[in-house]
Structure 1
Amino acid sequence: MITVLLCVLVCECVAVPVVVFPMHGKVQSPDFPQPYGPNLLKQWDLLVPEGYQIKLTFTHMDIEASQDCSYDAVRVLLDYQKSLGKFCGQENDPDGNHPGNEPILSPGNKMSLVFQTDNTNSEQHKGFTAHYQAIDIDECAQLDADSEPLCSHICHNTLGSYLCSCHHGYTLRADKHTCVASCVGGLFSELDGHLSSPGFPEASRRGLDCQYLISVEPGFLVTLNFTSDFQIESTDVEEGSSCLYHWLQVTVPDKEPEKLCGDQSPGVKATHSHSVTLDYHTDTEGSSHGWSLHYSTQRVSCPHPGSVTNGRVTPNWTQYSYKDYIHIRCDQGYKLMMYGQEIKSSVVRCQSNGKWHVPLPQCQIIDCGPPGGLLNGGITFISGSDNQYLSVIKYHCDEPFYSQFGGVEGEPCVFSITINEKQCSVFIDFSVIVLLNVPPPPPPPPFGVSLSCSPVNLTCAADRKWRNKNDVLVVPICLPVCGKPIKRAGQFGRILGGNLALPDTFPWQVLLGVNGRGGGIVISDRWIMTAAHNLVHNGVPVDKDQVIVRAGNNDVAELIKEEPASVASLHVHPRYNNPNSVNYDNDIALIKLQNRFTFNSSIMPICLPPEGATYETGLLGLVSGFGVTEKDGQSFISNKLMYFSPPVVDQEVCRASLVGHRQQLTDNMICAGTPEGRSDACQGDSGSALAIHHQGRHYIAAGIVSWGINCNARGKYGVYTRVGNYVDWIKKTMADNDA
């Protein structure tokens, strides 16, 4: 049987009182301020914390005076034996011993007061009152010449106590009072400092092995500056002096260590490193006085960055060091480039390894990109190339079909534009101005527009915009040239048996297909003018999808091979009303195309006439068309563009030729032809132009082929819509539907 004994330890916790010594207080005789009695013996023991002394001050004393205070007295004692004073009497009492106002100090933290009276009191006396307080003892200042110092090196007074510390190279012993030489060495990371052997300038102890590590921030290089007070024992050998037994070894990373000894100071030693190890060794024999040094640091230098072509480096110094920054800025018209990419700014930093953290960027000339495209025009470089900074370009239009100012001239009106404060006068047909949404010139005619202008030269500016010399962003507009075919037709013949039109002589001619064949007139890149009766049949407007528009060739067989122009909308004059083919007044209509024509020698617009224009009788015009023609007495639809040159007929003569016919001639019509009937338009020509060469400069659409009495009938004339009466309507219709 195994018996297991369990021992239980019972712990009883007893509260240990913590004694708190008062730091100040008051002592007074019994019954004070009432008179004290006889045969008293009263003692007070004062105690304050260690490290403090007691300061006692009597504030009132009235004790029976006697020689040597032999009757009544209060005594101040130290350790119950040593007297610090025996007092009685009153202030200024010659028979007593009054303490006055001077305080009584105890050397330590204890003090006793004893109050004793005899058995007789001839007079009544109040006694005394005194105050005391704890005063810190400055232990470091209380030493005398015969006493051992509290600290062997440095004494520091503290409240109620003191501390000892040692000079560099020494450590404090366990007794907390005495110091001994040490070899702690240690790490020194400040950018400058002082080092010395233990106990320096005292001689070094034997048997030392001390290590000091100077390690500062990378990017700084340490320099050692030894004082002249240098002596480390050296040994004479055959080769000279050697550091065999005592030495100071200097070790720099990646270099051979160097031992120093002798009586000659090494002076200044540049380590070229941010880290240096110093090992100080003395053996158990010999003697070395030691050494002392001040170390400093300098920043690592980076190579001069050089210059940047077409740029500048700031600040521009002769030398750059660790943590220095430089900014690279390009000259105007250049951009910062790095690794093939444009950068907004460049700040380059000198690193701790003496290299710049990135290579310098380049300053590359900027470019403005391709200039804004010019519809129906192009660009010519006057200077520079590749759209680079300060390159100068000049816009040009695709002449002779487009120009910056249009292609007509005429009398100027009030409307004018001034550009660049230079004036030159040009005149633009209003049918072109309408497309630009330019406000109309006021009536009366003519409606030429006078512009003040200069050639549009643009320069690639520093903000990468193409600007003119007035710092304005501008792109010109190439306006169609109207009424100027590259070939001119002769003015003779007729359509009915008329003349074959040569290529490019009537580039405004349009072939319309609307339940048959008709004609039209190109007046702008999106608008065709024609006779209203081509688009209204039996009083009902045709649908736009029924209208086929072809242009650009004098041969119908070739025209029909091409895709016709898509029609966007039809616009018949609102006052055209001719359900019975009798009233051809206001026989005018416009066709808006879905897409714009690009003009060339085969397709060009004809100019509109001046508002309300009139024409002299006999003035020859040109009429072209793909209508009925005649050959060898036979009439047939022509597949080639034919033309003839009818003269303008006096209005009254024309009106007289219509007597007896239902149709009436109005002021919105103009007649042309000969009484012999040798030249006339016929079926299929309706909507084509009566073109007149205006003032010897350009062709205008004076009329639109409208109607007549038979074809080529003697004594009858062709009747044309007078376009000059509809310029306002044409302009408004085009402007309102230009979106």
Structure 2
Amino acid sequence: MNSTRYEGHNGHHERIDFLTNKEKVSSKRKFGILIGVLVAFLILAAVAAFLVWLFVYKDADSEASLSKHLGPSAQVFSGHMKLVDVPYNQKLENTNSKEFEDLAVKLEAVLKENYKKDPLLEKYYTKSVVSAFSEGVKAYYWSQFDIPVEDLEVVPEFSEERVLETLENGLKEQRSMGSDSDIKITEVTASFTDPRMVRNPRANECFYHLEAEEKAKQILSPGYPKGYPPKSRCQWQIRASEDKAILVSFPFFHIEDDCSDDFVSIFDSLSPDDSQAITEKCGQRPPSNPLEVTSSGNIMLINFITDSNVQRPGFEAMYEAIPMSKVKTCGGVLSANKGVFTSPLHPSFYPPAVDCKWTIKVPAENMVRLKFTMFRMKEPGVDIRVCHKDYVEVMGTKYCGEMSSLDLTSSTNVLDVSFHSDESYTDKGFSATYSAYDPANPCPNKFACASGICIGKELQCDGWNDCGDMSDEMKCKCEKDQYSCENGLCKPRLWVCDRVNDCGDGSDEKSCSCGVNEWRCGDGLCMPQDVVCDKKVDCEDGSDEASCKTSPGICSDFSFKCQNTECVNKVNAECDRVNDCSDNSDEAKCDCGTRPYKLNRIVGGQNAETGEWPWQVSLHFLTYGHVCGASIISEKWLLSASHCFVVNNSPQNHVPSNWQSYSGMQNQYSQDGVQRKAVKRIISHPDYNQMTFDYDIALLELSEPLKFTNTIQPICLPASSHVFPAGMACWVTGWGAQREGGAKAQLLQKAMVKIINDTVCNMVTEGQLTSRMLCSGFLAGGVDACQGDSGGPMVCFEESGKWFQAGIVSWGEGCARRNKPGVYSRVTKLVDWIKTETGI
């Protein structure tokens, strides 16, 4: 036998044997063998050529996605190495230069030699790639280890610590032996990295080297704005001169919502090293909440990964070089009696690796009151009780995470505030106000909280924790409209029996529960526990069988009725992303109740953000401007309240042509993104009672359909079986008066409300509640549904990720009056009428 050898892409030799003429065969057979050998040779040559193309040329010239070559067991680590005695050459920034190639090859060989010193790493090591150099000299690299499926149990052993320890030990050995190598490495990092984010610098597809200058330049995602292609792997390496930092802002950002599929990740490095990550984002951002990040030095890396088949428009980004002083300069002495200071570059993301200290000095006889009006320093894997990464430190305490309020007071006339950001993950930071106050009279004509902040005297002992430390609710004598908790606190009677422990000791819920072996029906009646799921309706409302999958044939008030007349005994089955009906009708009409824009929590204010409540509508009557609210339930139908249109002394209110609807509006004086539609038809409920406000609901048909946008979306209508339990926090919105007798708001207002137990609400409304009504109390002190909010929605967020409309603003006594809840039309009792009239 003669043999020839083929050296494959990985250096292994494959033996290929051919028959020789030593065997005695006929001439025909010889000819057949010759033909067979020739065919076999051609096949092998084709396979060899394909393998060479796949693993050599394709890898070097058109590496659109490394993950296409990586199996599910690929382990990738990235980081940087710091070199000494290597002069920095500008040509190292060109990945196609000989200088880059020579140094990269040497470093890749060093990495390979070091991995050989660990038997496990050597066994599965595939390759290392040096992807960039920067001043210093720093080399950025990644290393890949491929583990066959049959060896997957070793994956947990591939840790950052093991890889880093192996590399560091190799460097120590090199130094101790006084190696003659012309490359000396003094520092190395290694971080586990998503294989999709590493790229060969010689790849041409969607890989860019950019130079940031003072004049802003543009980056566009592939396919923008029509839509990015699936399986995209894009990378932008950005550099600036050594005395500059890099600022990148995204005027437009619309990526798929699931960050595990599609995302943009930004690094304070030229390597996708998680320890140098600035942020990772997906979803859609409104103009009011743009993404804007800054580097700590003169380099930055942007990765764009898409894996889903959902094609969104993508992003537009602007990058520019800014003075390093703008990034690093912060802190100082603040000596005015009051002022404002913020984290660096606020409201943009603060840069990594920054430390600031402010010293606030007020007159000797005064002290300092500090209030954070915006505070957001969230970071993956950080315990906010410890705050070991980014934090603000005041009087020895570190604060991090996201806070709705943070008020502090000093014990002297000097207060130090320190800010620290580490090398990874940044956020919007903070904005703070400070003021001097006289400790002898800290709150003239107001109540002084133990924390030092001042609140209105009327807020003391009202059951609300206005101070934040409960000091305004201590040592209180409860009024007759309050519940006296066993721990001495006073709470509104409205909060009794709402299944929320408002007192803190559970005393407000004690008298509401049934015995240990009893079941409480939805109407409050107690039944023996064994009636639950016994395939018989024992409670009048059927709640004992409401969530029993073992009761398929039972239909009750709590059952979801499928289109094919089947009943599903599951609480809130509709639009929960689970097909419960055999005809899937419970998930059929669920393109609703979503907010396209990702929004920040706004601290210390009740102004709504753009796109925060995209189903909210403003209804204008003749020349009076905004009069009532409404909600979008489809392209052509709005939901509102009858009392806006059925008015005895004004028959003009029921004339459709007298009304105009404004969808997508936030500011009454701005038409940006607003769709104005005439009202074609008004349908008031035939049973609406002007005296009692029973059946206070109306439908408005528009003259032409709405076009749904980021700021115009329909709200989900609940099924008649949907449950909005007492104690649930929901939201009410509108442009109504912000106080009783006050003027209407210019900006859309929002307030969190708490659903109140029906029995309690009926008691405080003196028996005026009907089954078509729902009560709520307000958690945002002093803000209430008021004149002008009528007809607007009260919406609640479900775990399914959808917003549902629970109520329509109907009536109440005044605005935000003590122990006088807002009353709403209960949508679940009226949804069948809505669907009959509209065909939705």
Higher helix share: 2
**Computing the radius of gyration over CA atoms, which structure comes out larger, 1 or 2?**
1
TM-score of the superposition, structure 1-length normalised?
A: 0.34
* TM-score (normalizing by structure 2): 0.30
